[in-house]
Chains A and B, each alone.
Chain A
Amino acid sequence: MDDPVRMQLLKQINSVDHIEGLRSLRDQVHEHMEALLPTRPVEQFNEQLNEVHDAVIQRAVVLAEAQMARLGKGSPPVPYAYLLFGSGGRKEQTLSSDQDSGIVYEDPVSDPAETQQYFTELSDCIVSILQTTGYPLCEGNVLSSNPDWCLSLTEWSGKLDRWFEEPAWESVRYLLIIADCRCVYGDSRLVDELKDFFFTDMLNHPIILKRMLDNTLRHKVLLGFFGQLLKEQYGEDTGSLDIKYGAYIPMVNSIRLLSVQNGIRETATLDRINRLVKIGQLTEAEGKVYARAFRLFLRLRLMTTEQRDGGLYANNGKLSSRKLTKELTGELKSSLRLGKKLQRAVFKQTMGRLK
């Protein structure tokens, strides 16, 4: 039951040849998908939404390449891959997600400086097109336009080694970001190689797990001592639930940590849960209930408060309690209990591994 409007939009996105057109298509996508939200099962909706996001991003890259060529900067000197991190990497973007991106390019044979120059300029171009299209910049500056996140394969490998060797708070955070990375455009072989480095390093530095664990369990589940929901106490969002950091992220983090421990390369949380079941790290029953809880979090996250700010699609990750029906509240509570249980299980398992 694929809807013709979305297919038509996808087609248009894949052929649009100017930025304003892309922007207007994105607006149409937003409107269309927003209307569809209540009618679709969340998993399907999420998949379709991310497919369109991917299409927009891919088109932005194509337009940027064309722009570079028009400006006389030529075409990409070596193969490269455009990377998505964060929710984009996990194929879990909401209607309004920000940009978290990077670039990996093949080691240049000649003139590395010029190659780097090309990709830096290309990234600037892509990031600005996406911004025009309504994707806000990543607040942590994890962006392909940041030279730290736009590197050749060898440079990436060196960088990963350094992060693994010096597991400070920041490098652990970066490593967990890399764990979610996915190729959205270009040569996916490069990302595979990047991931090879990552998992080899993981094996060689088991101690990193402890630090990853600390980072992973940093966000607490929104469930109080009496099993009540912990709501915002003050400000404009009084009474809202921080679904992003109090439900969704704790689960994403827990599943991610289990996955990297087991060499799982999938990035989407539901895919990761499936893999974990397949290799026997989770039982069928566990996999089923965790997946169900996660789908609920995905759904609620899609219902969080939108903030349209200067043409950018943003979202504060908080769910107004008005949108929370009694039924939903009950479901949310039991799902959060599962989230808590998962966190405990991850803690136990990871600590067990370290002994």
Chain B
Amino acid sequence: MIKKTMLALGIFTLLFPVAAFAEDPSAATLNMGLNSLWVMLSFILVLLMQGGFILLETGSTRMKNAGHVAGKTIFTTGLAALIYWAIGYGIAFGGDSSVNALFGWGDFLFNPAVAAGEGDSLPGTVFFLFQLAFAAVSLSIAWGGFAERAKLSSYIVFTLFFIAIIYPTVAHWIWGGGWLAEDGAQDFAGSTVVHLTGAIAAFAATVLLKPRIGKFNKDGSANEILGHNQVFTALSVLLLWVGWFGFNAGSTVAIGDGFFGYVAFNTMLGAGAGGVAALLISWAVTGKADITTMLNGTLAGLVAITASCAFVDPWAAVVIGLVAGVLVFYSVKFFEKIKVDDPIFALSVHGMAGIWGTLANGIFATTALADKVGIGQGGLIDTGSWKQLWVQFESVVVCGAFVLAASFLVLGIMKLVMGFRVTEEQEIIGLDLSEHGAYGYPEQMKKGQSI
């Protein structure tokens, strides 16, 4: 009976939509409402990616650091929220400053309107949350370079600088109306802004920290320090993959004509291609189909397609993903060869794939889609012009150089002033115990102290 009533009501609303509401909302209000819902949902998805990072980082590292690695992600996400609210958002998206090309100024201690204003496509609150989630993702990528040997205090101090200045500056340049945006740099959801920025901070950190004890032998050969739980790592990739639909498709920040579906569609293709290519290349080259490489490849596909998902044809999304999968495999080898310890493969997955994804726009972007999004122009294949590729190249180099310099400066001073790395004893005993006083896996760790 109830079912029937509901059904009848449903049909009634469909037939006479207007009649179902007491007051007629305008089309603009409806549109705003739908946009808000979509972006809010995307924020939730992107925030949930932190769960992915928790599992990714713990799964890829050793048991003795599990509690620390997992816990600090939650802590720094919370800290990032406060700092982004107080400072970061104002630098990235705050009102015009006299040097607007370089950074924004205003909206510090952001105090948004409680509802969307007239003509707004969505409330500022929702936009803030969505942007905050991106900043937090970039931060969690940077932690990859800190893993298993940085002091807890260094996490706190670096969060402050990264979320207040480093990340927002790059975000402003490309998304906040800064000088690269003026140039038409295409980075739809943040291959450069989020992933490359995080990865370069991770690079600076891992170089300053130096490799973990036992990673490299005297003769320069590398040892494999296996993560303690591959199931965590695989689950993390699934979580991130799902979250990425908020990340990429949500970056339309509007429902509009359903373009977000196309963005999601390309995202899916890129991810699949990345994982497939990585597994096959590792199988072909090393004789073993390596799971870690495959997982990295899937993420690399996602990272790479992030910049280009709104600008390219589906076939190009597949190509971008395939290249990313192969790239990540060789990149991991490269970093090992130059003796840079990259415990979570952040430099390869987010850095190299981020660079590739951003450059890929300059090759594969189509004029039609560039016009639709309204940023830049078509790439080399569609237009025969090198212009977009040059712009993409410029944005990668400039953002990369800025983040590299800023991160080295901040972390270098931290290293001098407060110390960056835990002592050898603390590292061997594990950060769970040294930084927090309790193991993440108490039963297991009591037995095998040597792990």
Interface residues of chain A, those whose CB is within 8 Å of chain B, are 220, 222, 224-226, 228, 230, 233-239
Contacts and interface: CB of A to CB of B under 8 A. Distances in A.
B285 A234 contact: no
B287 A220 contact: yes
Contacts of A234: 221-224
Nearest to A233: B286
Interface string B215-237: 00101011110000000000000
Contact of A239 (B221, B224, B283, B287): B221
Interface of B: 217, 219, 221-224, 283-287
Closest A-B pairs by Cβ, 10 of them: A238-B221, A225-B284, A234-B224, A230-B287, A224-B287, A235-B223, A234-B223, A234-B222, A236-B217, A224-B285
A236 B218 CA distance: 9
A309 to B, nearest CB: 18
Contacts, number: 33
Nearest to A237: B221
B216 to A, nearest CB: 10
6 contacts: A224-B284, A224-B286, A224-B287, A234-B223, A238-B217, A238-B222
A226 B285 contact: yes
Contacts of A224: 284-287
A228 to B, nearest CB: 7
Contacts of B217: 235-236, 238
Contacts of B287: 220, 222, 224-225, 230
Most B C-beta atoms less than 10 A away, residue of A224, A225, A228, A233 = A233
Contact of A236 (B221, B284, B285, B286): B221
Nearest to A230: B287
A38 B432 CA distance: 54
Nearest to A231: B286
Contacts of A225: 283-285, 287
A223 to B, nearest CB: 8
Most B C-beta atoms less than 10 A away, residue of A234, A235, A236, A237 = A234
A230 B222 contact: no
A226 B284 CA distance: 7
Nearest to B221: A238
A226 to B, nearest CB: 6
B132 to A, nearest CB: 39
Nearest to B218: A236
A238 B219 CA distance: 10
A22 B127 CA distance: 84
Given A222-B287, A225-B285, A238-B221, 16 more contacts: A224-B284, A224-B286, A224-B287, A225-B284, A226-B285, A230-B286, A230-B287, A233-B224, A233-B286, A234-B223, A235-B223, A235-B224, A236-B217, A237-B221, A238-B217, A238-B222
A222 B287 CA distance: 8
A241 to B, nearest CB: 12
B285 A228 contact: yes
Contacts of A239: 221
A173 to B, nearest CB: 23
A222 B223 CA distance: 21
A149 B164 CA distance: 72
B443 to A, nearest CB: 29
Contacts of B223: 234-235
Contacts of A238: 217, 221-222
Nearest to A222: B287
A239 B286 CA distance: 11
Contacts of A235: 217, 221, 223-224
Contacts of A237: 221
A238 B337 CA distance: 11
Nearest to B217: A236
Most A C-beta atoms less than 10 A away, residue of B219, B221, B223, B224 = B221
B251 to A, nearest CB: 38
A222 B221 CA distance: 20
Contacts of B284: 224-226
A225 B283 CA distance: 8
A51 to B, nearest CB: 37
A162 to B, nearest CB: 36
Contacts of A228: 285
Nearest to B226: A234
Nearest to A239: B221
Nearest to A225: B284
Contacts of B283: 225
Nearest to A223: B287
Contacts of B286: 224, 230, 233
A238 B221 CA distance: 6
A236 B224 CA distance: 11
Nearest to A221: B287
Nearest to A220: B287
A244 to B, nearest CB: 16
A219 to B, nearest CB: 12
A221 B219 CA distance: 27
A9 to B, nearest CB: 36
